[in-house]
Amino acid sequence: MRKVYLDNAATTQVRASVIKKMQDALAECYGNPSSTHSFGRTAKTAIERTRKTIAKYINAHPSEIIFTSGGTEADNMILRCAVRDAKVTTIITTKIEHHAVLHTVEELEKEYGIAVAYVDLDEFGNPKFSHLESLLQADDSKKLVSLMHVNNEIGNITPIGEIASLCKKYNALFHSDTVQSLGHLPFDVQAISADFLTAAAHKFHGPKGIGFAFVRRNSGLKPMIFGGSQERGFRAGTEAFHNIVGLEEAFVCAYDHLEEEKAYVTGLKTYFIDSLKKAIPGVIFNGHSGDLEKSTYTLVNVRLPFDAQKSLMLLFQLDIKGIACSKGSACQSGSDLGSHVLTEILNSEEMKKPSIRFSFSKFTTEEDLDYVIQELKTFSEN
């Protein structure tokens, strides 16, 4: 049976060069990076090299890069520390953020009694700038705005440069979950005056369990995890050295091949949209996912014109045929509540139709897409 992987927004296939780097690290560079002997110094040197490499590609200072276990930890760390250390008393966000942000904000509201305000969305799922500005100027409380760059379910690209400028105008901190965009879009943190960004290596063909936070200097944030002096004392715990060198290799490959791989994947997305429209009339693309200018080139979120009963079996049937895709974020696996993102932008009748996220990568082929479209067409006709 053919196997087709179209769930790259959940996680990506690891590049061969990344696997090789990690294997070499595990076999040959096993010293504890905090040890002062040569084995430890070798590992420590590689970690600091990775920090400098990431900083170079996004135009940051190496001290602003903090390695974490991934995007969820980075989001938690930034939001919690901002409330605890930067004395944030109001968080402004939207109801379609990743749950790493939404659930953290909900807990902070309970623990610290902070105020939480949600920016209104338009019909496509974009935050309304006029409402955001009104929330920023509502009172004199210390505010933090948390808005993701690329939505992980519908792919909308939020103009975070403009939002960062707006936040600066009103003396608010700005955090953006950039897990779906770092490694896929160019970044310059001097041009985008965000205070905090997050990344996860497994979204750009690196290993799971490693990511980083960009924390702008002089932010006032203090450690959330205490123990040793790793990460300049900001995050204690022996570093996952093999994952860090894997992150470096994946990050370098992502940006060194960005233009060619972006062009290739954009071509796949265009081909998929055009082919699906021809094969299944009435198909709709949720949010801006069908718009190449307003959404990431890596995914589409498709609403199919199938009845409710047929919809129940769709993902199961695709899985039987060897096709991997999803209804939404993989972090919601096992939940019967459906997509919290689509719930915010679709009405009850629209929610009855099956919506599926297909996400692409450099490893995807047109033959893969042809197979998926044929299976969808066959399913719709039976």
Number of H helices, E strands in the chain: 13, 12
Amino acid at 324: A
Return the SS3 of 121: strand
**Residues 6 or more apart whose Cβ sits within 8 Å of residue 274:** none
And the tokens for 102?
């939404």
Catalytic hit among 29, 167, 325, 331: 331
Q: Please say whether the beta carbons of 161 and 191 come within 8 A.
A: yes
Considering only CA atoms, which of 182, 183, 135 is closest in space to residue 163? 135
CA 302 → CA 275, 327, 349, distances in Å? 13, 9, 15
Amino acid at 154: I
| Separation CA 127–CA 17 (nearest Å) | 39
And the tokens for 230?
């790793």
Task: Specify which residues 7 forms β-bridges with.
Answer: 359
And the tokens for 157?
């690209």
Rounded to 10 deg, the angle between the 258-279 and 241-256 helix axes is 80
* Residue 199 φ then ψ, to 5°: -145, 155
Q: Are strands 284-285 and 196-200 parallel, antiparallel or unpaired?
A: unpaired
CA 131 → CA 118, 119, 250, 343, distances in Å? 9, 6, 38, 20
User: What is the rounded end-to-end Cα distance, in angstroms, of the chain?
Assistant: 20
Return the SS3 of 166: helix
331 catalytically annotated: yes
Active site residues: 331
